């Protein structure tokens, strides 16, 4: 038992170690996927910012510089009236909705193209007054995002004097739909991860990409899923000039099998937990079997001791009276007859005990062979009571029968005799002296019920099934030092079942015990 418990502890330790290793491997793989997402977000941010500047706004600001849009004395032209010199400028102007210029000295604002609302004018003038002083002269452009639901996207630059004091701020308001298509195109134009990982798969099948402003509002999205659903996310800012724009990339969980060699390690905790429970169950079963084996060993030892005692008593009686007869120590014919009766009585008891032990041994080896056939019961009961009469006489027990001549069962004659002898032996052994024991027979629903009724103390309710177990004896019998092997009733039930019958106990009308054997009935018997 100690070794089994040590094995269980070792299995638990190994299971915990395996679970920790599996968890660590899975966490490592998940960390790699998050790193991939962060790398993709960094790549997208750099590409989106670069393409936005070079294709979306730089050409337009070249044109604005040519027309002197930063000079307050020069009228601000309409977007459609700008002089365009090449294809890049014509492509860039398609993103523009309006032009604006703010005089940073007095805060006045001018704009052409799409009309601003009053709230937009006030926000732009106020914001540019503050943003111009944070504008780095080395910057070319900067981005602002309107916090209103309209979500205007503004790109501006600042005109400085010789002492780098901001004079004017001017720029463009971009068309939201055109900007979204520009940012979405940056996501799909080229792979965001090495092709050795993605195997040239469609980016939308691997990840979802979002561009958000400083208020976490989505400006552009690529992919079919909301990135929030994925645990493998990474994000990065487009830089200090980008007005708080943030790129976020989320890998689809299904992409883990492709991006991680061998796939994402499966969670092993349910399997390991199940194996530990199974191991614990097997070890517990082994402990219970050991305990049962120990108990059976003790019962077998007691059985051998009881059988030895049961054999010793009749053998001693037979030997003593045989020696008395052999030495001629009997004083008269009555004593001689009495000695012969005792020898016969003890020999019968010895034969009955040996038959029980042999039947028990055959049952243990599954070697019992019976031949059930239509058998009249009245002759068997008469023969058994006659054979048992000397043993009943020793305790002044009157054995009566209540069996009709026509009662017959499909049974093995020898087995029926042994079952009745066992029940009679129990009735005489555990009942009071001078009692009446009755052997009867009834027909019930196509079955024959043989029963033996005594006037003993009965069986406690808690022991009414226990008495049929092998080596089982009631505590009161052990306390009263009544001899017995504990296999008689087990043999009765075993023989009954081998003949398609059953055996059980009932309380007798007299208050004693009634043991019943039910066997298939036979209509005609030889």
What are the DSSP calls for 211-276, one per residue? EE-TT--EEEEESSS-GGG-S-EEEEE--GGGTT-EEEEEE-GGGHHHHSTT-SPPP-HHHHHHHH
**Three-state secondary-structure class, residue 477:** helix
Q: What is the Cα gyration radius of the chain?
A: 52
* CA dist 290 → 6, 149, 285, 297, 472 (Å): 16, 77, 8, 10, 19
Query: Which residue, among 416, 404, 406, 381, has the nearest Cα to 525 in the 3D structure?
Result: 406
User: What pTM was computed for the model?
Assistant: 0.53
481 φψ region: left (φ > 0), alpha (ψ -120 to 50), beta (else): left
pLDDT of the residue at 214? 79
Q: 96 pairs with which residues across the strands?
A: 174
Higher pLDDT among residues 500 and 310, named by residue? 500
Please, are residues 76 and 169 in contact by the beta-carbon 8 Å criterion?
no
Mean pLDDT of the chain: 84
The band of 383, judged by pLDDT with boundaries at 50, 70 and 90, is confident
Q: In this model, does residue 504 exceed pLDDT 70?
A: yes
Count of helix runs (H) and strand runs (E) in the chain: 14, 16
pLDDT confidence tier of residue 100, bands split at 50, 70 and 90: very high
Averaged pLDDT for residues 405-417: 88
The model's confidence at residue 326, banded by pLDDT at 50, 70 and 90, is confident
Token pair recorded at residue 178: 């055109």
Of the candidates 484, 378, 381, which has an alpha carbon nearest to the alpha carbon of residue 425? 484
For 179-210, how does the pLDDT look when each residue is reduced to its tens digit (9 = 90+)? 888 888 888 788 888 877 777 676 667 888 88
Contacts of 391 (CB under 8 A, 6+ apart): 345, 348, 349, 424, 425, 428
CA pair distance 57, 63, nearest whole angstrom = 10
Half-sphere exposure (CA, 13 Å, Cβ side) for 351? 12
d(C-alpha 309, C-alpha 297), whole Å: 18
Q: Is the pLDDT of residue 525 over 70?
A: no
At residue 400, the pLDDT reads 92
What DSSP element (H or E) covers 207?
Answer: strand 207-212
DSSP state at residue 462: G
pLDDT band per the 50, 70, 90 thresholds, residue 480: low
Check pLDDT > 80 for residue 255. Answer: no
Cα(452)–Cα(422) distance, rounded to whole angstroms? 10
The residue ranking higher by pLDDT, 394 or 410, is 410
Neighbouring residues of 214: CB distance < 8 A, sequence distance ≥ 6? 145, 243, 244, 245, 246
Mean pLDDT of the region 233-239: 87
DSSP helix/strand/coil, 502? strand
Cα distance between residue 173 and residue 144, in whole Å: 10
């Amino acid at each position: 038992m100690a070794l089994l418990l040590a094995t269980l502890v070792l299995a638990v330790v190994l299971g915990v170690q395996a679970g920790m290793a599996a968890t660590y491997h899975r966490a490592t793989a998940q960390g790699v996927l998050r790193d991939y997402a962060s790398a993709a977000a960094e790549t997208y941010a750099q590409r989106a910012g670069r393409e936005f500047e070079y294709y979306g706004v730089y050409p337009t600001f070249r044109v604005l510089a040519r027309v002197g849009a930063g000079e307050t004395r020069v009228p601000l032209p309409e977007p459609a009236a700008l002089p365009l010199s090449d294809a890049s400028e014509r492509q860039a102007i398609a993103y523009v909705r309006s032009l604006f210029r703010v005089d940073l000295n007095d805060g006045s604002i001018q704009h052409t193209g799409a009309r601003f609302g009053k709230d937009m004018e006030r926000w732009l003038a106020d914001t540019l007054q503050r943003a111009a002083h944070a504008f780095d002269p080395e910057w070319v452009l900067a981005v602002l995002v309107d916090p209103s639901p309209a979500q205007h996207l503004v790109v501006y630059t600042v005109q400085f004097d010789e002492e780098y004091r901001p004079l004017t701020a001017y720029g463009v308001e971009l068309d939201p739909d055109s900007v979204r298509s520009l940012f979405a195109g940056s996501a799909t134009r080229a792979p965001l991860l090495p092709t050795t990982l993605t195997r040239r798969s469609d980016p939308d099948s691997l990840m979802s990409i979002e561009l958000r402003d400083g208020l976490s509002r989505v400006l552009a999205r690529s992919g079919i899923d909301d990135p929030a659903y994925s645990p493998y996310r990474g994000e990065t800012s487009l830089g200090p000039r980008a007005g708080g724009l943030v790129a976020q990339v989320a890998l689809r969980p299904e992409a883990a099998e492709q991006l991680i060699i061998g796939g994402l390690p499966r969670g092993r905790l349910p399997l390991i937990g199940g194996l530990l429970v199974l191991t614990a169950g097997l070890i517990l079963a082994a402990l219970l079997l050991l305990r049962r084996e120990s108990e059976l060993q003790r019962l077998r030892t007691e059985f051998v001791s009881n059988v030895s005692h049961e054999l010793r008593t009749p053998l001693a009686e037979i030997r003593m009276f045989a020696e008395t007869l052999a030495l001629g120590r009997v004083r008269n014919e009555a004593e001689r007859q009495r000695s012969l009766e005792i020898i016969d009585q003890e020999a019968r008891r010895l034969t009955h005990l040996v038959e029980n032990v042999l039947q028990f041994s055959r049952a243990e080896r599954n070697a019992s062979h019976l031949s059930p056939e239509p058998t009249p019961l009245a002759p068997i009961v008469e023969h058994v009571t006659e054979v048992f009469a000397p043993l009943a006489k020793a305790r002044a027990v009157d054995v009566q029968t209540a069996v009709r001549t026509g009662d017959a069962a499909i049974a093995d004659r020898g087995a029926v005799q042994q079952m009745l002898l066992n029940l009679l032996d129990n009735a005489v052994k555990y009942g009071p002296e001078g009692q009446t024991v009755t052997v009867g027979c009834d027909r019930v629903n196509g079955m024959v019920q043989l029963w033996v009724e005594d006037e003993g103390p009965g069986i406690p309710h808690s022991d009414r099934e226990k008495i049929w177990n092998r080596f089982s004896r009631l505590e009161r019998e052990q306390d009263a030092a009544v001899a017995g092997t504990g296999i008689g009733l087990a043999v009765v039930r075993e023989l009954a079942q081998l003949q398609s019958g059953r055996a059980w106990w009932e309380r007798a009308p007299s208050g004693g015990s009634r043991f019943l054997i039910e066997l298939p009935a036979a209509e005609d018997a030889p």
